[in-house]
């Protein structure tokens, strides 16, 4: 089964160009405007859209993303509403890959198995979980790959140990 991400990268390879990947925090400045912006991104040339999942303690984010997350939370954004936003996008666009980016804690509280089912049903194509190192792939990444065919990537940072980098890159 070819995923939307695989299909998009195959198209890009045929065109001989790199992907234009955009990022938007779900719910910033408010849920309705955020969905309108996400729906407009493919028409503006976005190949893949990363959607941030707002979180109260964004330790790995810079000031701009922290501020966007706080605005989204103040506007009432939740993980459930983020998945609803994905569903709303999928009503009009079934081709553009959507990748959720954020932290593990909201997913853990939501329930990993429930999240994976709901994310797949909503139309999520991949996950970037910034605070889940490769050594903890069994928590979310392996179940995601097994149960829903979602792409799942751990962040590999400069302070990630050599052994961990080798393990992550081998996958």
Structure tokens at 94: 């079934």
Choose the weakest-confidence range: 58-72, 105-119, 141-155: 141-155
Residues 102, 129: Cα–Cα separation, whole Å: 5
> 132-145: buried (b, 16+ CB within 10 Å) or exposed (e) per residue?
bbbeebebbbebbe
pLDDT in tens, 90-147: 999 999 999 999 998 999 999 988 998 899 999 999 888 888 777 766 666 655 656 5
Specify whether the CB–CB gap between 86 and 115 falls below 8 A.
Answer: no
Lowest mean pLDDT among 25-29, 50-54, 77-81, 138-142: 138-142
Sign of the C-alpha dihedral, residues 75, 77, 82, 87? Answer: negative
Give yes or no for residue 171 having a pLDDT over 50: no
pLDDT at 169: 42
Catalytic residue annotation: 50, 61
Residue 131 has what pLDDT? 83
Total domains in the fold of the chain = 1
Distances in whole angstroms, Cα of residue 29 to Cα of each of 6, 20, 25, 26, 58: 31, 23, 9, 9, 17
| Residues in contact with 125: Cβ distance below 8 Å, sequence separation at least 6, in sequence order | 3, 4, 5, 97, 98, 99, 150, 151
More confident residue, 87 or 130: 87
Confidence of residue 41 (pLDDT cuts 50, 70, 90): very high
CA distances from 10 to 1, 18, 44, 47, 126 (A): 14, 11, 20, 12, 16
Which is it for strands 98-102 and 126-129: parallel, antiparallel or unpaired? parallel
How many CA atoms, within 13 angstroms, populate the side-chain half-sphere of residue 94? 2
Residue 33 pLDDT more than 60? yes
Maximum mean pLDDT: which of 61-65, 70-74, 112-116: 70-74
Tell me which residue range forms the domain holding 73: 4-170
Task: Considering only residues 139 and 38, tell me which one the structure prediction assigns the higher pLDDT.
Answer: 38
Mean pLDDT, all residues of the chain: 84
> Domain holding 106: CATH number?
3.20.20.70
């Amino acid at each position: 089964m070819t995923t939307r991400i695989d299909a998009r990268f195959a198209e890009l390879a045929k065109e001989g160009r790199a992907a234009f990947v955009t990022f938007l925090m779900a719910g910033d400045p408010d849920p309705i405007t955020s969905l309108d912006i996400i729906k407009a991104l493919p028409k503006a040339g976005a190949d893949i859209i990363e959607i941030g999942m707002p979180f109260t303690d964004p330790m790995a984010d810079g000031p701009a993303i922290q501020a966007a997350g706080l605005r989204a939370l103040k506007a009432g954004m939740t993980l459930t509403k983020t998945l609803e936003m994905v569903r709303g996008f999928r009503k009009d666009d079934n081709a553009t890959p959507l990748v959720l980016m954020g932290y593990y804690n909201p997913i853990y509280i939501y329930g990993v198995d429930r999240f994976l089912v709901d994310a797949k049903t909503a139309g999520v194509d991949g996950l970037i979980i910034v605070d889940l190192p490769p050594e903890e792939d069994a928590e979310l990444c392996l179940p995601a790959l097994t149960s829903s065919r979602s792409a799942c990537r751990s962040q590999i940072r400069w302070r990630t140990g050599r052994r961990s980098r080798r393990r992550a890159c081998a996958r």
